[in-house]
Structure 1
Amino acid sequence: MPSQTVDTWHHGAQWLNAQETRFALWAPDARSVSLTLQNGHSLAMQPQPDGWFVRTAPCPKGTRYRYCINDDYEVPDPASRSQDGGLEGYSVVIDTRDYSWQTPHWKGRPWHEAVIYELHVGALGGYAEVARLLPRLAQLGVTAIELMPLAQYSGHRNWGYDGVLLYAPHDTYGSPNALKQLIDQAHGLGLMVIVDVVYNHFGPQGNFLPGYAKAFFLEHSHTPWGARINYERREVRDFFIDNALMWLLDYRVDGLRLDAVHAINDSRFLHELAQQVRQHTAPDRHVWLNLENEFNQAFLLEEDYNAQWNDDGHNVLHVMLTGETDAYYAEFAHNKSEKLARCLSEGFIFQGQHDRHGKARGEPCAHLPPSAFILFLQNHDQIGNRARGERLHQLCPAPALRAATTLLLLSPMIPLLFMGEETATPEPFLFFTDYTGELAQAVSDGRRKEFAHFITHGDHAPPDTLADPNQRETFERARPSLNPAADDASRGAMLALYTQLLRIRHQSIIPRLQGARALGAHVLSAGAVAARWRMADNSVLQIAINLSDQPAAHTLVPDSAVLFESQANLAMDLQDNHRLQPYSALVSLVGAPPSSSPMESAHE
């Protein structure tokens, strides 16, 4: 844990032994703080320098407690490790060491082996239901599950980005030990676990910090979610760093995905967090730190963080697949092919160019390896932040999606899948919350205003076709059916495609991936691009993709060993007619042993 002086404390309840627990609350604006127990006892906490209140009390694990501020009102512990009854209930003292791990020697897997599957625990039914899914994911070729935020939020349903008790896994998903059991089972199957964490804001309901710790925030500086968090304060930085270490040390997760760090906008804090993680995890563990960052700050990926979600790559591919150019997609409406070529050869598309708001965005990144970029065709944002939550297979031609999926799963970038895409699940993934009253209305109104920027999904759409985030039905509709029926040919074909491509990735891409470097990419014609990468064994990986409805002139390099063609006879047509068919992709290796590079077709 971060180093402490005599005047600083770890946030929350620290279970010391069978009978004693130390409670610490940073409340610089409080006159007094009492520890209120569920049994009715109240114990005054001793004030300490710098706004801390501390008390060691005879409280065994399982003790239910709250804090009483100024003898006026009670609040949950902001660093509660577990809640009984949600935000309105009691915080619970737990022993973080009372789970018996079945995989004690697990060290993780190298980053270049990552194939990430993002999922929402609540939508899948809780930790136990997610655990039942793990064998199928491992068999598919997934090597990591990424759990959308787990922190306790208001109500029973939420994406998780409105968490207010960041140390407490949400109580409706299962107990802290049930989460550990899920992680343990994942490790037993060779699956890493990444937790999505939100360190840029707290949710709009149930955050009591402003009442007794105003210095946690900067009232003069705001994010889209309210006052900016004050990372200048040691106590605040420790709150988040300790939280990161909790997930990695107590729950033994293999990595963290930091949400929207552009809203943190404090590179010193991000550097310190990464350094503390590296210092406090064993040197032989594989620990992954990933970012979402609209600023495309390449320097953060040089040493501190493994990779960043490549929103630029998604956006240009989405425009090419669907033709949608509303809102932020407008930035990718022109020179699409050139932008895709830049993405494949360098990583980010925006590397200092001006965005639609006239602001320069991004930094040069061509010096970074392809594995510094996480590529995806779908994720929770890009599906859920649509008015109707449509999935990509419902928005574009099937052959084009097969071609784009080929690029996703066989390029040297790290692929991320969103739950259900591998079986073309028909259910939408909608935005859902569980608020009431004025906040519920504000959330619904805010969604409608957001969709006003999307011409095809705007306010002129019939009101009854836009799902109300607060209705339970909206949540139920967003729960995916992951197993297609035996007679559902289209969904079965999608699963077969993902299985086949991931088998090729594990056999022919991952063994060559560590140290791979882009050699460049060029436009073949409008909608078609060819890219090349030098792999670790000095072979050259080539991907040619055509997302247009017209053939593109292209020639297969002599002595290429074809790994995959998304359409039957694609390689033969390239050799004979020097053209890449519409809506197709071809992947090949040059300079690799022929026995290691079997050709496969999407129509075997």
Structure 2
Amino acid sequence: MTKTMFGPAFTEDGVLFRLWAPLHENVFLKIEGSDLRPMQAVEDGWHRCTVADAGPGVHYRFVLPDGLEIPDPASRFQPRDVHGPSEVVDLAAYRWHESQWTGRPWEEMVIYELHVGCFTPQGTFEAAIERLDHLRELGVTALQIMPLSDFPGRYNWGYDGVLPYAPDSSYGRPEDLMALVDAAHERGISVFLDAVYNHFGPDGNYMPSYAPLFTDHHKTAWGNGINYDSDGSEMIREFIIENAIYWISQFRLDGFRFDAVHAIKDDSAEHLLHALARRVRAAAGDRHVHLIVENEENDSELLKRDADGKARLFTAQWNDDVHHVLHVAATGETFGYYADYVGDAGKLGRALAEGFVFQGEHMPYRGGSRGSPSGHLPPTAFVSFIQNHDQIGNRALGDRIMAASPTDAVKAITSIYLLAPQIPMLFMGEEWGAREPFPFFCDFGEELNEKVRQGRRKELSRLPGFDAGELLDPTAPATFAAAKLDWSKRASSEMLEFYRVLLALRHQRIVPLLKGAGGGNASYRSAGATLAVDWTLAGGRRLCLDANLASEAAPLLGRRDEGETIFRLGGSDGGQLAAWTVIWSIARSEGLA
């Protein structure tokens, strides 16, 4: 088992408590029910104390010279939230049922993003286990869990976490998370965690009181950047990298989605992201571990492949560009950042064939250029979707695409992204056409709550779906409650079987073409809302898409009488594609028998 420098450690002499607090010469350990114990100051700002009669279940805090009581920054569990004591947990005591799991290859991934608190009425790890059979039968092969780091209050999206080693207690104990991972693996489902290493939340982060966590050398949307390259940064970097390794080794997770990596500022010789990817992959050994980034800058350098086509750093990136063009096609929305994605189907064609729509070109609404060349990358370097937590939640009402879009339009864009060679990702409940909103929510003290309300109003004023008179209160309990999935509506859904059929087809016909598929082997044509895309994939097979994403018929782009049609939505007649028609076919590339 991988050893870490941070958090309590079990030794032959008892439990070793450790705190890196270079800003103080003296630190004390406070175990509930016992007197203060002085910790021994050792090299490089570390303070240590071994307690012979301590063990699992012990609650403890550290006490700084001014009397401030703080939780362990590497706490494994916070039974009374972020301001309370930390609990000693023996993670090695969990007995895994699926002990031989080594993961699944990336090309097999069908990702399902979920928020533990909203996925079920109970909002717990244990309750999520009960829904895994539904996901397996649907065709999902990977969960992507929104951030779990302990956050303040009763509910939160997870991006305000302050204790990155402790899964939030509102969802259950660490052992319950292990049981969820274990149960998923028993069903052949990988588990990824959304990890936030670009900022800490605004409430409950005590680290600046004893360590140089932040630096004014870099600025981010959340204030001063995390200190990854200034004085004292070596241990901050280690704290973060070991955290990722901790989730991979102790909880046997299968990878990460790294939040907003463009906001991780680092001028070191080896950027934190490079070091993180290198060491996580080394720690995973022969297991299939996949690393996904969210990158507003669309920097394809992070996705580069080696001579054998394997990812050197990161496996894939969330492809917002595919989302935006599909959303515009289905909804007709052209305000906010969608304004840059209005036009003919050529933008969708480029996103499907090459990855990014904008590869260095100027974007009028954004007010600058974005992206870098991406056509050389394999299609599996991109994760595509028509909904995710951001694209739903960063609307004033948190409304889903099904709430106001025609069913035939939604089915058309769904059949494109689920069968395209990029890796698809569903957002929880999407498969049965759930209409529950997913607005942003959090639960701070009233002073901070008011700042959040004002901040969200200002932020959303320039984003799609904003209406000043209807803006939801992100701090209200009702806002969180409204985001919970209503599983009773699954039984009457006409969409569920549609998703099942598409995902079964993907696993049977598309996935076998993806292994070893390289980049630069796709082309597209467009005219108005009509699109044709060809990919040359494994074995010389050519995957072909013909689509008309409009409410009236349009001409087919050229003849498509070769190959095998594997899926058809809508129809074609006399060289015309009916409204909202999508046709997928497979053929041999020219010159191959």
Short-chain TM bin: over 0.9
> What is the CA-CA distance between 1:591 and the residue it aligns to?
2.7
Which residue is equivalent to 1:49? 43
Amino acid at match of 1:360: S
Q: Is the 8 A contact 1:2 1:241 kept in 2?
A: no
Q: Is the 8 A contact 2:344 2:526 kept in 1?
A: no
Which residue is equivalent to 2:307? none
Cα 1:63–1:404 shift into 2, 3 Å: same
Which residue is equivalent to 1:217? 214
**In 1, Cα distance between equivalents of 2:111 and 2:513:** 19
**Structure 1 unmatched runs, 5+:** 4-8, 593-604
Amino acid at match of 1:293: N
SS of the residue 2:205 aligns to: coil
**In 1, Cα distance between equivalents of 2:464 and 2:106:** 40
**In 1, Cα distance between equivalents of 2:553 and 2:523:** 18
Which residue is equivalent to 2:29? 35
Which residue is equivalent to 1:587? 584
Q: Is the 8 A contact 1:33 1:71 kept in 2?
A: no
Which residue is equivalent to 1:469? 474
1:147-194 per-position Cα deviation (integer Å, ceiling 9, x unaligned): 100110001100001000000000110111111011100000000000
Which residue is equivalent to 1:231? 228
Q: Is the 8 A contact 2:149 2:163 kept in 1?
A: yes
Amino acid at match of 1:481: D
Q: Give 1:209-288 correspondences, 5 Å limit.
A: 209-213=207-211, 215-232=212-229, 233-266=233-266, 268-283=271-286, 285-288=287-290
**In 2, Cα distance between equivalents of 1:550 and 1:36:** 71
Q: Is the 8 A contact 2:162 2:205 kept in 1?
A: yes
> What is the CA-CA distance between 1:336 and the residue it aligns to?
4.4
Of 375, 392, 399, which aligns to 1:390?
Answer: 399
Q: Is the 8 A contact 1:32 1:71 kept in 2?
A: no
Say if 2:326 is the partner of 1:325. Answer: no
Of 341, 347, 372, which aligns to 2:355?
Answer: 347
Which residue is equivalent to 1:305? 314
1:259-303 per-position Cα deviation (integer Å, ceiling 9, x unaligned): 0001103371101011101111122x1001110011112121121
SS of the residue 1:343 aligns to: helix
1:536-576 per-position Cα deviation (integer Å, ceiling 9, x unaligned): 12111101122122322214422321111112xx2xx3xx4
Of the structure 1 ranges 499-508 and 541-550, higher mean CA displacement relative to structure 2 is found in: 541-550
Which residue is equivalent to 1:170? 168
Q: Determine what percentage of the aligned residue pairs are the same residue.
A: 43
SS of the residue 1:100 aligns to: coil
**In 2, Cα distance between equivalents of 1:336 and 1:162:** 39
Which residue is equivalent to 1:289? 291
**In 2, Cα distance between equivalents of 1:2 and 1:134:** 29
Q: Is the 8 A contact 2:548 2:580 kept in 1?
A: yes
**In 2, Cα distance between equivalents of 1:135 and 1:455:** 35
Of 48, 58, 63, which aligns to 1:63?
Answer: 58
**In 1, Cα distance between equivalents of 2:532 and 2:526:** 7
TM superposition outliers: structure 1 runs of 4+ over 4 Å: none
SS of the residue 1:84 aligns to: coil
Q: Is the 8 A contact 2:346 2:526 kept in 1?
A: no
Amino acid at match of 1:361: R
**In 1, Cα distance between equivalents of 2:7 and 2:234:** 16
Q: Is the 8 A contact 1:257 1:290 kept in 2?
A: yes
Give me the CA root mean square deviation.
1.8
**In 2, Cα distance between equivalents of 1:435 and 1:496:** 41
Amino acid at match of 2:349: A
**In 2, Cα distance between equivalents of 1:148 and 1:456:** 23
Say if 2:567 is the partner of 1:564. Answer: yes
Q: Is the 8 A contact 1:118 1:419 kept in 2?
A: yes
> What is the CA-CA distance between 1:338 and the residue it aligns to?
2.2
Q: Is the 8 A contact 2:141 2:190 kept in 1?
A: yes
Q: Is the 8 A contact 1:34 1:71 kept in 2?
A: no
Q: Is the 8 A contact 1:402 1:584 kept in 2?
A: no
Q: Give 1:511-530 correspondences, 5 Å limit.
A: 511-517=512-518, 519-530=521-532
Q: Calculate the TM-score normalised by the size of structure 1.
A: 0.91
> What is the CA-CA distance between 1:220 and the residue it aligns to?
4.2
**In 1, Cα distance between equivalents of 2:583 and 2:565:** 8
SS of the residue 1:89 aligns to: coil
Of 114, 118, 136, which aligns to 1:119?
Answer: 114
Q: Is the 8 A contact 1:15 1:61 kept in 2?
A: no
SS of the residue 1:108 aligns to: coil
Amino acid at match of 2:405: C
Which residue is equivalent to 1:338? 346
SS of the residue 2:271 aligns to: helix
> What is the CA-CA distance between 1:456 and the residue it aligns to?
4.7
Cα 1:455–1:162 shift into 2, 3 Å: closer
Amino acid at match of 1:513: L
> What is the CA-CA distance between 1:88 and the residue it aligns to?
2.4
**In 1, Cα distance between equivalents of 2:98 and 2:255:** 17
Aligned length in residues: 569
Q: Is the 8 A contact 2:387 2:426 kept in 1?
A: yes
Say if 2:429 is the partner of 1:435. Answer: no
Cα 1:43–1:293 shift into 2, 3 Å: same
Amino acid at match of 1:106: W
Q: Is the 8 A contact 2:293 2:316 kept in 1?
A: yes
**In 2, Cα distance between equivalents of 1:80 and 1:257:** 22
Which residue is equivalent to 1:80? 75
**In 2, Cα distance between equivalents of 1:221 and 1:395:** 41
Amino acid at match of 2:436: E
**Structure 2 unmatched runs, 5+:** 305-311
Say if 2:138 is the partner of 1:144. Answer: no
1:358-388 per-position Cα deviation (integer Å, ceiling 9, x unaligned): 4332221111100000000000011111111
Q: Give 1:353-364 correspondences, 5 Å limit.
A: 353-355=361-363, 356-364=365-373
1:399-458 per-position Cα deviation (integer Å, ceiling 9, x unaligned): 111111011110000000000110011211111111122100011111111221147523
**In 2, Cα distance between equivalents of 1:501 and 1:455:** 29
SS of the residue 2:375 aligns to: coil
**In 2, Cα distance between equivalents of 1:372 and 1:229:** 28
SS of the residue 1:340 aligns to: helix
1:302-356 per-position Cα deviation (integer Å, ceiling 9, x unaligned): 21111000011111211222122222222212x3422211111110122222344
